[in-house]
């Protein structure tokens, strides 16, 4: 799946792709504006990828202290304030989706 296919799914489908990982499902819900469903998916995944999405969600929420904790668990630095949430979402999707996805930054 590519980022564009995921974006189409967000726009057209009633649920995330059933074969997608929990972190990708979290991104799907986040793109639909359902923070709580996104958070539940990210929280269910204890991997570094799940922690990265979890960090992103807390950054989106504005809870930078909690976000910093989860970025640390993911082994990633917190993005600079100038990096938009949209840019980070695309970076996450590109890293987590198995299809060919160009780098975003």
Q: Please, which pLDDT band fits residue 46 given cuts at 50, 70 and 90?
A: very high
- What is the DSSP annotation of 12-40? H-SS--TTS-HHHHHHHHHHTT-HHHHHH
d(CA 37, CA 53): 12
- pLDDT tens profile 33-45: 999 999 999 999 9
- pLDDT tens profile 60-78: 999 999 999 999 999 999 9
Q: What is the pTM of this model?
A: 0.90
For the chain, the straight-line distance linking the first and the last C-alpha, in angstroms and rounded, comes to 20
Query: For residues 53 and 26, is the Cβ–Cβ distance under 8 A?
Result: yes
Average pLDDT over every residue of 89-93: 94
């Amino acid at each position: 799946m590519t980022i564009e296919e995921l974006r189409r799914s967000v726009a057209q489908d009633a649920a995330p792709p059933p074969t997608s990982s929990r972190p990708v499902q979290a991104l799907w819900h986040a793109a639909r504006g359902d923070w709580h469903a996104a958070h539940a998916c990210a929280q269910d995944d204890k991997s570094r990828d799940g922690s990265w999405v979890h960090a992103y969600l807390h950054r989106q929420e504005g809870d930078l202290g909690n976000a910093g904790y989860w970025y640390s668990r993911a082994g990633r630095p917190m993005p600079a304030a100038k990096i938009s949430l949209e840019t980070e979402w695309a970076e996450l999707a590109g890293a987590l989706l198995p299809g060919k996805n160009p780098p975003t930054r």
